């Protein structure tokens, strides 16, 4: 993830205090919580490809339920080995409006960020599905065991495996809350 770009998006939407808080390196306690809550979310949500929005929203809801902070939901592009997996040339801040109307109406990706780390709960599930974008599937099977479910990497780790998360927006609290409320509908479909 372009950390500077993500940090600036956090500053624009949430302010200077959140910006400084977001930029701080995650603690060992943060990493333990990511692992524990991530496993809980993945084990309680149906295995569906392309579920970046509900999985990220559920992770963030559980994270905040424990009164934790510094985790933000980003929307943008995912590029693998120089090939765009999700996203398009016209992605701009208008993505905010598109996200509010429907997450199925745009060709993008949603993930979580904490400091310089990307946390992606849907990437592994989508890569293992029959409808996976070929480049995503190739990168996944080249780098990870099939049993992997939670993806967490910093900029160095992302570069090593050829992934680039390009944030175009950080979701507002209202947008996140809207997606959390939409999880029940998603589960029932």
| pLDDT tens-place string over residues 47-106 | 888 889 899 999 999 998 887 778 999 999 999 999 999 987 777 655 655 665 554 556
The confidence score (pLDDT) of residue 92 equals: 62
Question: Which pairs count as long-range contacts for 46-51, CB under 8 Å and 24+ apart, including other chains?
Answer: 46/187, 47/125, 48/125, 49/122, 49/125, 49/126, 49/129, 49/130, 49/131, 49/132, 50/122, 50/126, 50/129, 50/131, 51/122, 51/125, 51/126, 51/186
pLDDT band at 107 (very low <50, low <70, confident <90, very high): confident
CB 121 within 8 A of CB 55: yes
Residue 127 has pLDDT above 60, yes or no: yes
Q: What angle do CA 187, 45, 114 make, to 5 degrees?
A: 115
pLDDT band (50, 70, 90) for residue 186: low
Tokens of 113: 């960020």
The span from the CA of 179 to the CA of 123, in Å, is 18
pTM for this model (two decimals): 0.90
* pLDDT tens digit sequence for 113-124: 999 999 999 999
Q: How far apart are CA 3 and CA 156, in angstroms?
A: 11
Name the helix (H) or strand (E) containing 76. strand 72-80
- Cα separation, 141 vs 128, whole angstroms: 9
- DSSP state, 36? H
**Chain mean pLDDT for the chain:** 87
136-162 pLDDT, tens per residue? 999 999 999 988 999 999 988 999 999
Please give the pLDDT value at position 164.
Answer: 95
Angle between helices 28-44 and 52-65 (to 10 degrees): 130
Question: 7-38: per-residue pLDDT in tens?
Answer: 999 999 999 999 998 988 899 999 999 999 99
> Quick count: other Cβ atoms within 10 Å of Cβ 32?
10
pLDDT at 5: 86
């Amino acid at each position: 993830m372009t950390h500077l770009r993500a940090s600036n998006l956090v500053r624009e939407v949430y302010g200077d205090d959140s910006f400084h808080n977001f930029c701080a390196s995650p603690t060992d306690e943060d990493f333990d919580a990511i692992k524990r809550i991530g496993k809980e979310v993945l084990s309680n949500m149906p295995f569906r490809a392309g579920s970046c929005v509900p999985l990220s929203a559920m992770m963030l809801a559980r994270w905040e339920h424990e009164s934790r902070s510094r985790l933000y939901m980003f929307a943008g592009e995912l590029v693998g080995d120089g090939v765009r997996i999700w996203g398009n040339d016209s992605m701009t801040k208008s993505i905010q409006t598109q996200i509010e109307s429907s997450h199925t109406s745009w060709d993008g990706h949603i993930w979580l960020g904490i400091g310089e780390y990307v946390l992606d709960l849907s990437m592994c599930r989508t890569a293992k599905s029959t409808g996976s974008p070929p480049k995503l599937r190739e990168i996944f099977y080249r780098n990870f065991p099939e049993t992997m479910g939670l993806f967490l990497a910093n900029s160095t780790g992302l570069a090593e495996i050829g992934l680039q998360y390009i944030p175009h927006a950080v979701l507002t609290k209202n947008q996140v809350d809207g997606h959390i409320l939409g999880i029940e509908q998603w589960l029932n479909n």
